[in-house]
Every structure is written in C-alpha cells, then in structure tokens.
Amino acid sequence: MISDVFCKIIKGELKSDAVYKDDDFLVIKDINPQAPVHLLIIPVKHHFSLEDFMEEGNLELLGKALIIAHKVAHQVGIAEKGYRLIMNEGEYGGKLVPHLHFHLLGGKRLGPKIVK
C-alpha cells in the first residue's frame, strides 16, 4: 500500500490545516508557503501522476480540481486580484511528493517568472 505524506494526512495520521474537503479532494495549507496564500489541492485517492488519470479514465477529476481551485481562491480572498495554479510533474518538474497535487498561490503580486 502506498503511504506518502499526503496519504497519511488524508488518513488522519498526520495533522494539517485543511481549508476544504469533499469525497474526492482535500485542500490544505502548505507547511512551507511560497506566498501569503499557498494551498495544496490533493486528490483523496492516491494518484502518482497525470498518467494515472489517463489510464484509470478519471479525467473528470482533473476538471473538478480546477473548479475547486476557483472555489477555494474565492473562499480565501485571492480570486479578485489573481492567483497561480501549478502542478509539478516528475523529477525535472520539481515534484517532491509522489502524489499528484496542485499548488494554489496568491495574496501578493507573484511576477512573471515561474523558474529561477
């Protein structure tokens, strides 16, 4: 059984500061925020990568992730001025946790650069 840090948070084995939860997704505050608002949108069911969604026929969940990002951005007050939604995929993409997730960042002017 897969047991990365996000799976442990979802199971309640590790604490997190949740801002949203439904049957498919959990949204938590990042413990190492890179902006005033830095949230992680995490599928409840373990998915390692985008490839998992393609293989399992769960493409509608990807759309739901975007809807949740929009909803939570409004909930936390960053929608009006804008925000950034990022997904790191694979070693070269900077993925650190082997569980697909999205970063929702905002609360300040983030600027045009995505990489240093």
Domain of 20?
5-36+44-97
Does 55 map to a domain? yes
Does 114 map to a domain? no
Spans in the chain with pLDDT lower than 70: 1, 56-57, 114-116
Does 103 map to a domain? no
Q: Quick check: 105 and 34 in contact, CB under 8 A?
A: yes
Tell me, what's the pLDDT at 1? 57
SS3 88: coil
Supply the pTM of this predicted model.
0.91
Structurally, the chain folds into a number of domains equal to 1
Does 51 map to a domain? yes
Locus of tokens 């995490």: 42
Tell me, what's the pLDDT at 57? 66
Does 104 map to a domain? no
Does 50 map to a domain? yes
CATH code, domain carrying 91: 3.30.428.10
Tell me, what's the pLDDT at 94? 84
Does 80 map to a domain? yes
Catalytic: 101? yes
Does 49 map to a domain? yes
CA nearest 29: which of 92, 75, 90, 95?
75
**Catalytic residue (one of 47, 99, 101, 103):** 101
Tell me, what's the pLDDT at 3? 80
> In terms of C-beta density within 10 A (0-12 exposed, 13-18 middle, 19 or more buried), how is residue 40 classed?
buried
